[in-house]
Amino acid sequence: MKNSAKPAWVVVWVVFLLLLASSGFADDARVLLFTPQGETRGVRQVRVQFSEQMVPFGTPAQLEPFEISCLEKGRGRWADGNNWVYDFDRDLPAGVLCRFTMKQGLTTLTGNYLAGEQIFSFSTGGPAVRSARPRQGFEHIAEDQIFVLALDAEPTPESVLQHVSCRVEGLAEAITVRTIEGKAREEILKMFRSPGDDRPESYSSAPGSSPPTQE
């Protein structure tokens, strides 16, 4: 009987310790919510919710919880004791990457260190097409057709050639494009530009093709 009871006691004791450890881990202070993350557009504000109170209620706290790496300017503030927001000076354009790294030694109001994820990031992705001329569905495409695309950010020539192509109904393969630069480009834009189309790019395509597509 003594030999059989001893292993059972050890098993129960180990299980008890594991339950204590898991319970303590679940109660660690941490970031409950960080938004946005990943690739997203239309960003104007970052919101962070902590599991425990970080600053006193009713006082303008100076605590900055993150080291921020981002080309766009903004400022942080505490909405309340648990929620911190970062307001950018403007809606972020395409091509912006921001990284928020929790400061070392950051603690809650009661002195608890924060566990869990420490680095959060998001990007606004590459330039996207806002409008195209001729528009989708236009049937009278010339052999030397010029397409004008209005984008939400300035692309690099390399990215245009890599991601933009034309398709012809009945042909399986996409048709490559070339960019139009210099004086010819400026003359074309004078005819097509309208208010709001402040960052267009010009292309020429093959006979009978549809407006360029972005891959």
pLDDT digit string (tens) for 99-121? 999 999 999 999 999 999 999 99
Q: What is the reported pTM?
A: 0.62
User: How confident is the model over 46-57, as a mean pLDDT?
Assistant: 95
Is pLDDT at 24 greater than 70 in this prediction? no
Angstrom distance (rounded) from CA 31 to CA 65: 11
Q: Please tell me whether residue 6 adopts helix, strand or coil conformation.
A: helix
Alpha-carbon 125 to chain mean position: 6
User: Does 65 lie in the same domain as 133?
Assistant: no
Is pLDDT at 207 greater than 80 in this prediction? no
At which of 95, 123, 151 does a domain end?
123
pLDDT of res. 215? 55
On whether the CB atoms of residues 112 and 130 are closer than 8 A, the answer is no
- Lowest-pLDDT choice from 65-69, 76-80, 152-156: 152-156
Is pLDDT at 135 greater than 80 in this prediction? no
Angstrom distance (rounded) from CA 2 to CA 172: 80
User: Does 195 lie in the same domain as 147?
Assistant: yes
pLDDT of res. 197? 52
pLDDT of res. 18? 47
Name the residue with tokens 């003594």.
2
Domain assignment present for 196? yes
Beta pairing partners, 203: 147, 179
Q: What is the domain extent for residue 66?
A: 7-123
Domain assignment present for 2? no
